[in-house]
Amino acid sequence: MLSKVPSASNLGLNTTSIDVEVNLADRGLPVFEIVGLPSKAVDESKERVRTAIKNSNIKFPDKRITVNLAPADIPKEGSFYDLPIAAGILAMTMQCELPGSSLFFGELSLDGTLRHTKGALLLALFARERGIKNIFVPKASANEATIIKGVNVYAIEDLNQLLAYFLGETKLVPAECRDVKDDEACSQAEFDMEEILGQEQAKRAMEISAGGGHNLFMTGSPGSGKTMLARALPGILPPLTEKESLEVTKVYSASGRIPPQGSLIKIRPVRAPHHTISAVGLIGGGTNPQPGEVSLAHRGVLFLDEFNEFPRSVLEALRQPMEDGYLTISRSRRRVDFPSRFILIASANPCPCGYLHHPAKTCICSRREIERYRKRVSGPMLDRIDLHIEVPVVDIKEFSDKQQTKLRETSAHIRTRVITARQAQTERFTGEGIHSNAEMKNKHIRKYCSLSKESRQMLLEAVRAFKLSARSYFKVIKVARTIADLDGSREITVSHLAEALQYRPKIQGGEI
Amino acid sequence: MSIWCEEYLLKGKKKANSVKKMKNLVRINSPEYPQLLKETKKPPDILYYKGEWDNTIFEKCLTVVGSRRMTKYGKEITERVVSEIAAAGITIVSGFMYGIDATAHKAALEGGGRTIAVMPCGIDVIHPEYQKDLYGEILENKGLIISEFESAHPPGIWTYPKRNKIMAGLSAATLVVEAGPKSGTLITAETAKMCKRRLFAVPGPLTSVLSQGTLQLIKEGADMVISAQEVIGAYDLKSHETSLSPASGRKSSDPARFSDLSVLERSIIKQLQREPMDIDALSRIAGVSSSRMGTTLSLMQIKGLLYKEEAKYYVK
């Protein structure tokens, strides 16, 4: 007696179809065996399935049970084979038909209920792609799967419910998509821009960064407000578009970071890993490749505080995903692609002790220490950052009067400008395969950033005055494009370019 | 006499023999040995040198000392004062360290004068190494590199005070530009005092740590330097340049440079002439957005009116 239960396995963001074949043999000792390169978690599925079936007051067959996970040469991992195996056994013992065009997916608890299982969204996507009508997933994971329209998602609570459905005793209704209540993204930021005293230039740089997706590098003494600024950034980021939302949710679903009953992620993620992170932690990897921080920050912000303290090898590994917007994790048996389009916000002290050029405190670092500290970030790495700013120490006494408070803008106010700028970019880049000004390559710059004669003249003078490299030259134009977008201007004017020059990188190895 | 002592003496003799054969050294009994240094307590027996030994270089020497962590102010003053003094024909003696020392050497070369670098290490060592361009320039411009340590002797904590003694001893006067409290610079100044040499100090703002040493020296009787003239005057020489004007500098008082400026630009210049500021402070005072201030400052930088250092803007 053989029953075939279709399921699917996720590898990175890709899903492959897996057939779970369950055979009950009348002859032989009552043994339960799983073949098809199961990992430890899959092998232990035997005990979970056996106990769960018994605890659901269903008779467990005293027969020789052989489960084959086909194709048999791919290593199987994860706990989601519980449900297809159990479904196969139930169908055999109860002599009932399995519904056609369906996928089964989920982890069993010993009491017969189903647990939240990672990757339900990817399964639903796969089902739609392959034209499979129904998917059976645990109730806790059903909500994320319902994001995908056109697939009937059956939310299963326990084995008894499933069996009753198989026997035709009850009917199941496909789950409806329930939106998880989202607060406005503004309230997600820890600080409002309005709360930050002074730092006008830094706030403006944040706005440009959000407006065009540019990476930002801040240097400043401890206590100048670098971290606070970075934490306020989510409040001025534009909301995720539907497509972006799905991309983000996929990564989070694959790594099991969507909470039970969770749905589409609508807030841009902000990741702030500590500087002791390993390269695999940042980039992703492992034998069963998991997304790293760069992928979890996809379409959001990756904030690296104490940038110079990160191991150089870790920072260098960051370069390729920053450039390409995706990364490939290659292991001997698997290759997995993860997206990694994020805004990098890096912050660093000017020297190891942090008080170089501090108005009140004295720096105790020797010149050699400072040089060594700065050299920890390579030139090519800094080259990938469009905006460079110095964050000065703020004297709180200066801000006692209320007039200053009036001048400060709220995050919501800044956000409206950012949204307008992003809309302009979306229109501009339709069909180009890019989304923001920061992603522009030289051909895009030539196409979309035409400069007037006057602007060109000014920029050439600036190249001379500031000794700009060719790369910096294009960077200034890109940033100027964003400033013009924030201004609602189609043309890049002289003043846009002049402001963009403020954020140019400092010359490496300049005066300390 | 113990065996240890004998060995030590033997070693000393061997060393003396090898020294005899070496060139590029001056002994204390030689007539070429700098007279002023000889007058000090326990002058070094042997001076190693690089460059062309010409005794006229020691005739009118000024030692310039200051902090390694000089401020923008210290740098500017050293550049202005020292180049003028060097131009008047006074040899600038300093210690080849980064900071005020290196700035003084450079300023002396800029002024077309000669300069002597006294090294804290063996004569064959360039320390700090990244200043080897400066090392070469000093020699090219008839300057001298001097040390009391031979060949590849490494610099150490104890070699610096010895170097400081030579520096103070070589010159008739010592100029202190910036010095923190309890700094090596102050030790040099103290040595100069002990040798009964004249001491000059540049005043600085009370708020700066690096002014504490110099202000203390002035309080204790060092001559306050307001212009290069005072120093040059001490050497009975006439300078061919007039003294430097106060803080605003010579160029910025030129009215032609600031014609046809906008109101905002004019007010920026006015603010910066009084005190260098960062962009946030400027935009707050002018009451304009950071974006507009950034635009204006960039354009002014391109025009060559301003320059930026350490996040602050200065009038050129």
User: What are the chain A neighbours of B308 within 8 Å (beta carbons)?
Assistant: none
Residue A215 shares a structural domain with residue A141: no
Looking at the domain assignment, is residue A502 inside a domain?
A: no
Q: Summarize pLDDT for B271-314 with one digit per residue, the tens.
A: 998 888 889 889 888 888 889 999 999 999 998 898 888 788 98
Residues A207 and A319 in one domain: yes
Q: Cβ contact (<8 Å) for A461 and B302?
A: yes
Q: Which residues contact B118 (CB under 8 A, 6 or more apart)?
A: B93, B94, B95, B96, B146, B147, B163, B166, B167, B170
The per-residue pLDDT for range B172-201, each reduced to its tens digit, is 999 999 999 888 899 999 999 999 999 999
Closest alpha carbon to B22 in B151, B116, B126: B151
Pick the closest to residue B161 from B153, B173, B169 (CA basis). Answer: B169
Q: Does residue B14 belong to any structural domain of this protein?
A: no
Q: Identify whether residues B152 and B106 lie together within a single domain.
A: yes
Q: Would you call B298 and A390 a contact, using CB atoms and an 8 Å cutoff? A: no
A242 and A129, same domain (yes or no): no
Segments in chain A below pLDDT 70: 180-188, 399-407, 507-512
Are B198 and B50 part of one and the same domain? Answer: yes
Q: What is the pTM of this model?
A: 0.80
Cα B50 to Cα B118: distance, rounded to the nearest angstrom: 11
pLDDT band of B72, cuts 50, 70, 90? confident
Note the pLDDT of residue A401: 57
Q: Are residues A24 and A139 in the same domain?
A: yes
| Dihedral sign (CA B118, B124, B127, B133) | positive
The CA distance from B100 to A387, in Å, is: 33
The answer to whether the CB atoms of B290 and A201 lie below 8 A apart is yes
In total, how many domains does chain A have?
2
CB contact under 8 A, A357 and B284: no
Last residue of one domain, picked from the residues A131, A166, A201: A166
Q: What is the mean pLDDT of residues B109-125?
A: 92
Which of A199, A201, A369 is the best mutation test for B, with the most CBs of B within 10 A? A201
Judge residue B190's burial from the number of C-beta atoms within 10 Å of its C-beta, 0-12 exposed, 13-18 middle, 19 or more buried: middle
- The predicted structure's pLDDT at residue A185: 45
| Residue B304, CA distances (Å) to B251, B254, B255, B308 in order | 12, 14, 15, 11
Residue A237 and residue A382 in one domain: yes
DSSP summary character for residue B88: T
Same-domain pairing of A11 and A96:
yes
Percent of all residues in chain B with a pLDDT value above 90, rounded to a whole number: 53
The verdict on B220 and B71 lying in the same domain is yes
Nearest to B295 among A200, A392, A495 (CB): A495
| Measured distance CA(B293)–CA(B286) in Å, rounded | 9
Cβ contacts (< 8 Å) between B282 and chain A: which residues? Answer: none
In a domain, A157, yes or no: yes
Same domain membership, residue B206 and residue B310: no
Look at the alpha carbons of B62, B65, B70, B73 in this order and tell me if their dihedral is positive or negative.
negative
The whole-number pLDDT of residue B201 equals: 95
B301–A200 C-beta distance less than 8 A: no
CB of A229 closer than 8 Å to CB of A202 = yes
Domain of B307? 251-315
Say whether both A76 and A142 belong to one domain.
Answer: yes
Higher pLDDT: B119 or A176? It is B119
Residues on chain A touching B291 (C-beta within 8 angstroms): 204, 483, 499
Residue of B nearest to A487 (CA): B291
Give chain A positions within 8 Å (CB) of B180: 362
Inter-chain CB proximity A498 and B283 less than 8 Å: no
Q: Supply the DSSP string of A64-133, one letter for each residue.
A: EEEEEEESTTS-B-SSTTHHHHHHHHHHHHTT-PPPSSEEE--EEPTTSBEE--TTHHHHHHHHHHHT--
Check whether residue B228 and residue B173 sit in a common domain: yes
Whole-angstrom distance, CA of residue B127 vs CA of residue B130? 8
Q: What is the CATH number of the domain that holds A148?
A: 3.30.230.10
Q: Is residue B103 part of a domain?
A: yes
B217 in the same domain as B309:
no
Instruction: Domain count for chain B, please give it.
Output: 2
A221 and A361 part of one domain: yes
pLDDT score of A231: 87
Same domain, B285 and B206: no
pLDDT at res. B255: 56
Cα–Cα separations (whole angstroms), residue A284 to A39, A77, A280, A313, B50: 21, 18, 5, 14, 58
Q: Is B208 on the interface with A (CB under 8 A)?
A: no
Here the CATH number for the domain that contains residue A372 is 3.40.50.300
* A48 vs A44: CA distance, rounded Å: 7
Which of B200, B233, B266 is the endpoint of a domain?
Answer: B233
pLDDT of residue B12: 52
Chain A residues closer than 8 Å to B279 by CB: 200-201, 502
User: Is the interface score ipTM higher than 0.90?
Assistant: no
Residue B11 domain flag: no
> Does residue B75 sit in the same domain as residue B120?
yes
User: Of A166, A194, A225, which residue sits at a domain end?
Assistant: A166
Chain centroid, CA A383 distance in Å: 23
B160 in A contact zone (CB under 8 Å): no
A465 contacts in B (CB within 8 Å)? 301-302, 304
Q: Nearest Cα to B114, choosing from B195, B205, B183, B51?
A: B51
pLDDT of residue A505: 81
CATH number at residue B291: 1.10.10.10
Measured torsion, CA atoms of residues A73, A78, A81, A83, in degrees rounded to the nearest 10: -170
CA neighbor of A336 nearest in space, from A426, A447, A431, A255: A255
Tell whether B90 and B220 lie within a shared domain. Answer: yes
Cβ A5 vs Cβ A88: under 8 Å: yes
Whether A158 and A243 map to the same domain: the answer is no
In a domain, A45, yes or no: yes
Asked whether residue A223 falls in the same domain as residue A97, the answer is: no
User: Which structural domain range is residue A8 located in?
Assistant: 2-166
Alpha carbon A27 to chain centroid, angstroms: 52
> Does residue B8 fall inside a structural domain?
no
The last residue of one of the domains, among B201, B233, B265, is: B233
